[in-house]
Structure 1
Amino acid sequence: MSSRMVHESALNDLRRGFTGVLLTPGDPSYEERRHVFNAMIDRSPALIALPRNEAEVARAVAYGRAEGLQIAVRGGGHSVAGNSTTDGVVVDLRLMNGVTVNPDARAVRVGGGATMADLDRATQPYALATTGGRVSTTGVGGFVLGGGSGWLERAFGLACDNLLAAEVVTAGGDLVRATPHTHSELFWALHGGGGNFGPVTSLTLRLHPLPALTAALLVWPPESGGEVARAYREFIAGAPDQVGGGLIYLTAGEEPFVPRGLVGKLVCAVLITYTGQEAQAREVMAPMLRLGHAGAMIAQLPYAQLQSMLDDPPGYRNYWSAEHLDAFPDDAVDLFCARAHDMIVPSPSQHVLFPQGGAVARDADRYPLPWRHAPWIVHPFGLWNDPADDTRGKQWARGLREDLSPWASGAVYLNFIGHEGEDRIIAGLGRHNYQRLARIKAHYDPDNTFRLNHNIKPAP
């Protein structure tokens, strides 16, 4: 019997009783389903499996292992490295996107294929929220498992700090529930260790009261960037934990509050979020409001709306990186602002400075996330259309990291980077943590079946 016939026989076995969707090249919707967020990544999976339950996830994994095919797990598909696709088997969780809110317990159960929009829209009617990604189309699973940095982190902690339980399908096909009391080592590992241990089919997250949220987006011409960045640095140093946001160089869109002369051009912007009423927010924001911005949007708005304000359009070529800073002195400010002019403009690219501190810095050694000690993150977030711009876009991102290396902590949030080598993975987790994670990996995935991630190699 030929290998092709064996493959068809195994696929037919998988189809029997499979209530989800199985797609092979040539099937309707295959082309739509195979694409991921980063247009630089172009893979043609032998099989895209969209299961409807945990048992079907396990069957799809078993099929891939039996056929000797590489396995990728897809939630939102936002991995800049393209880890959510492969030429082998993609276990696509997007049909498992249910969200169930328990307002009395202030908890929510989220399917492994849910996006931030699914989560935020479900919790909003109860005036409850948890730290989410900064883009509404981001998958909740990969976001949380990588740590989870978002607008509300200074107030509510990282997303993984709010993880109460997770259900994981192991490489051997078992469904395990990880909590602080059951599979507790695995539970610890899921706070930054990503998808190394198996597809996470559901997460239970803690919710926080959020009766009001205010956001301000302030815009200046780029030549004001140095003054704005210094003022923002001092503002954050004295800001309460309810304040989040970031300083962002970006291409200004055609919005009512953007002066016509700045539309389509590079601008320096500050986004300030505040978990409270607009009147209180304006008092807290006063130092930034006094700087004389060129345009401003200040409003009390639903959290789900804030989450989609800066959504990145799909279909662009992506390259991202990050560096965490122990300090942001004037010399660093000057280098950060100067490098913004190397961005590809106009494009959706962003040249970002995020503050940490607040709840992010509390219990900073509890989980394998050594980067949470740093007060600042710089995040070159590149998106462009033309492949001819690939070299320029990557050089801009790498140049920013190099410029600010004298103040770098050495650690890095892995959700913000692509393939940058094993040393960066270890830096993102901490060497001692990495060794512990490798032992956990060896227990749940000794063959490294789930290696399309910031990979933790199983300990011998």
Structure 2
Amino acid sequence: MKRLSRREFLSKTTKTALGLGIASQLGFQIGCHNGTTGPSEAAWRQLANSLQGMLLRPGDALYDQIALPRNLAFAGILPRGIVFVAGPADVQTSVRFAREHGLPAVARSGNHSYAGYSLTTGLLIDLSNMSSIDIDTSGGIVDVAAGALLGAVADATAPFNLLMPSGRCSSVGIAGLLLGGGFGFNGRKFGLTSDNLVQTQIVTANGELLNCNETENSDLFWACRGGGGGNFGINVAFQVQTHPVSTASVYELVWDVEDAHAAWAAMQEIGLTTSNDFSMRLGMIIQEDGPLPGSRNQSLQVIGQLFGGSAEELREILDPAFVAAEPSSSLIEELSFADATLFLEEFDSPDAFLSKSAYLIGPLPEEAIAIMLEHFFLWPADSREAEFKIFSWGGAYNQTSPEATAFVHRSADYIIESDASWHTEDPVSVSDASKEWIQELFVKLQPFFTGSAYQNFIDPTLTDWQSAYYGANFPRLMDVKNTYDPDDFFNFAQSIPT
């Protein structure tokens, strides 16, 4: 399945579905979803008739495809209804309906929650049709509806030579990314996506639409800048500061596994000593599709950019890595910023996986590099793929104080992400072995980490997530929760509690 298949599918089929009368619901027993009967069929029809958008129910033609999550490990969590909202009024209507009928409600934007927290057995409020993007070129503010994807935002800002600091994966939704922070290849220069938030509109648990900025509902605005999605309400739009761009030089280097240790050590030193214009993603990867039957493809890869710099300048910065170990392949090229964004773009497809994260102060020590590389030789034979990667941090990320916004991670040099994936058709023994592999890796490396974790790489196995994600800001986040959602209507396994 291609990375945009669900969104492309929706854009092509929504009008057709409406023409076929999908909004008029089929009779369907939903007791299997939660062991309760839920709203009556008459209530569901009333909801459908009150929406500008579309309501989809189990049994409808498009339901099975659209209900799928990005992480297929959670594909068994199915909603009683999916509302494709057309605007804030539909969100308000949906929230009030869910409350009235005792249904949990969850918002979905890009559908990338690693732990399946944009899923529900109740009412799924899909924001994908709320995808407008408007740009005020005089002030450089982009007004983004909550269902817009990062790739669409980049496409909209590029003709004006502007960028919104954001992530690398174009199929991620703006809402989930921004509300949990949002980092990417331009963040060391311009900060998190949430650092650039000027204003947002949010539907709260009582169905009220609020405007939030530094002076209006400022406590909720603070929480929306890194406090995580799905905690305080459903954000329907964001106004974000953009920045002017011109060119960037990009690079991609690959080393064979025997040179991985030397190259890793060299690259992370480069990342610590260069300007905020430099960024990198350095990762060890192992895949099932090796060059010979039954073999593995294992290599060290690094990709990144030098913002506004030439290819010659970038080659000079990277020279210590070439000296440490000659790459098996290399590319360094100066591009327009729009082309650089496309070069750095990550394409993903739905699969089943577990992801973990950590923060690192200073370089990963030689001992830890060796432990990590040795652990890759223990990768389960039947599993699909695994990665261990670090992204450059510091710079503008750390120039905002930890208490200024809800995003507390302001002292690290690197952020770490590791993931293990398997095929959905694999037996439980394979998925369990994959999960055990990544858990053991993090146990071995934990002494080298800070103890923090990134809330957007949400990890359902974390037991101390309150501290790991939010640190000293957690009590204040609870205060905001008690103010705007005292009944804990918006909740999931790792949501901010009341």
* Partners of 1:247 and 1:354 within 8 A in 2: yes
Q: Does structure 1 residue 424 correspond to structure 2 residue 465? A: yes
Q: CA deviation at 1:338?
A: 2.2
Question: SS in structure 2 opposite 1:64?
Answer: helix
Q: CA deviation at 1:307?
A: 4.4
Q: CA deviation at 1:323?
A: 1.6
Q: Which amino acid aligns with 2:409?
A: W
Q: Which amino acid aligns with 1:363?
A: T
* Partners of 2:303 and 2:344 within 8 A in 1: no
Residue of structure 1 equivalent to 2:94: 60
Q: Deviations over 1:41-66 (max 9, x none)?
A: 12221000011110100111111111
Q: Deviations over 1:222-242 (max 9, x none)?
A: 121110111112211211101
Residue of structure 2 equivalent to 1:73: 107
* Partners of 1:115 and 1:138 within 8 A in 2: yes
Q: CA deviation at 1:260?
A: 11
- Residue from 304, 327, 343 that aligns with 1:272: 304
Q: Which amino acid aligns with 1:400?
A: L
* Partners of 1:61 and 1:173 within 8 A in 2: yes
- Residue from 116, 123, 143 that aligns with 1:89: 123
Question: SS in structure 1 opposite 2:185?
Answer: coil
TM-score normalised by structure 2 residue count: 0.85
Q: Deviations over 1:238-272 (max 9, x none)?
A: 11101111211124799xxx9999x9611011113
Q: Does structure 1 residue 286 correspond to structure 2 residue 322? A: no
Residue of structure 1 equivalent to 2:250: 215
TM-score normalised by structure 1 residue count: 0.92
Question: SS in structure 2 opposite 1:132?
Answer: coil
Q: CA deviation at 1:336?
A: 2.4
Report sequence identity in percent. 28
- Residue from 58, 63, 74 that aligns with 1:41: 74
Q: CA deviation at 1:280?
A: 3.0
Could you list the runs of 5+ residues in structure 1 that have no partner in the other structure?
Answer: none
Q: Deviations over 1:341-376 (max 9, x none)?
A: 344688453211222111111123222333331212
* Partners of 1:344 and 1:384 within 8 A in 2: no
* Alpha-carbon distance in 1 for matches of 2:387, 2:135: 34
Q: CA deviation at 1:421?
A: 4.3
Residue of structure 1 equivalent to 2:413: 375
Q: Deviations over 1:160-215 (max 9, x none)?
A: 11111111000111111111111111111012211211111011111111211222
**What is the total number of aligned residue pairs between the two structures?**
450
* Partners of 2:56 and 2:83 within 8 A in 1: yes
* Alpha-carbon distance in 2 for matches of 1:285, 1:435: 43
Q: CA deviation at 1:25?
A: 0.7
* Partners of 1:96 and 1:112 within 8 A in 2: yes
- Residue from 137, 146, 150 that aligns with 2:180: 146
Q: Does structure 1 residue 241 correspond to structure 2 residue 273? A: no
* Partners of 1:131 and 1:158 within 8 A in 2: yes
Question: SS in structure 2 opposite 1:55?
Answer: helix
Q: Does structure 1 residue 199 correspond to structure 2 residue 199? A: no
Q: Which amino acid aligns with 2:481?
A: K
* Partners of 2:271 and 2:280 within 8 A in 1: no
Question: SS in structure 2 opposite 1:214?
Answer: strand
* Alpha-carbon distance in 1 for matches of 2:329, 2:419: 23
Q: Matches of residues 290-369 of structure 1 in structure 2 within 5 Å?
A: 290=323, 291-301=325-335, 302-308=339-345, 310-314=346-350, 316-327=351-362, 328-343=364-379, 347-365=384-402, 366-369=404-407
Provide closer, same or farther for how the CA distance between residues 446 and 236 of structure 1 changes in structure 2, counting only shifts above 3 A: same
* Alpha-carbon distance in 2 for matches of 1:378, 1:341: 20
Q: Deviations over 1:369-390 (max 9, x none)?
A: 3333121222112222124421
Q: Which amino acid aligns with 2:163?
A: A
Could you list the runs of 5+ residues in structure 2 that have no partner in the other structure?
Answer: 1-28, 30-35
* Alpha-carbon distance in 2 for matches of 1:233, 1:245: 9
- Residue from 135, 138, 145 that aligns with 1:101: 135
- Residue from 390, 396, 399 that aligns with 2:440: 399
Q: Matches of residues 255-266 of structure 1 in structure 2 within 5 Å?
A: 265-266=297-298
* Alpha-carbon distance in 2 for matches of 1:25, 1:92: 15
Q: CA deviation at 1:149?
A: 1.9
Q: CA deviation at 1:5?
A: 9.4
Provide closer, same or farther for how the CA distance between residues 450 and 264 of structure 1 changes in structure 2, counting only shifts above 3 A: same
Provide closer, same or farther for how the CA distance between residues 68 and 80 of structure 1 changes in structure 2, counting only shifts above 3 A: same
Q: Deviations over 1:98-157 (max 9, x none)?
A: 111222211211111111111111111112112212211111110110011212111111
Q: Which amino acid aligns with 1:339?
A: H
* Partners of 2:38 and 2:101 within 8 A in 1: no
- Residue from 204, 211, 223 that aligns with 1:170: 204
* Partners of 1:226 and 1:334 within 8 A in 2: yes
Residue of structure 1 equivalent to 2:9: none
* Alpha-carbon distance in 1 for matches of 2:370, 2:463: 31
Cα RMSD, aligned residues only: 2.4
* Partners of 1:167 and 1:201 within 8 A in 2: yes
* Alpha-carbon distance in 2 for matches of 1:70, 1:149: 30
Q: Which amino acid aligns with 1:428?
A: Y
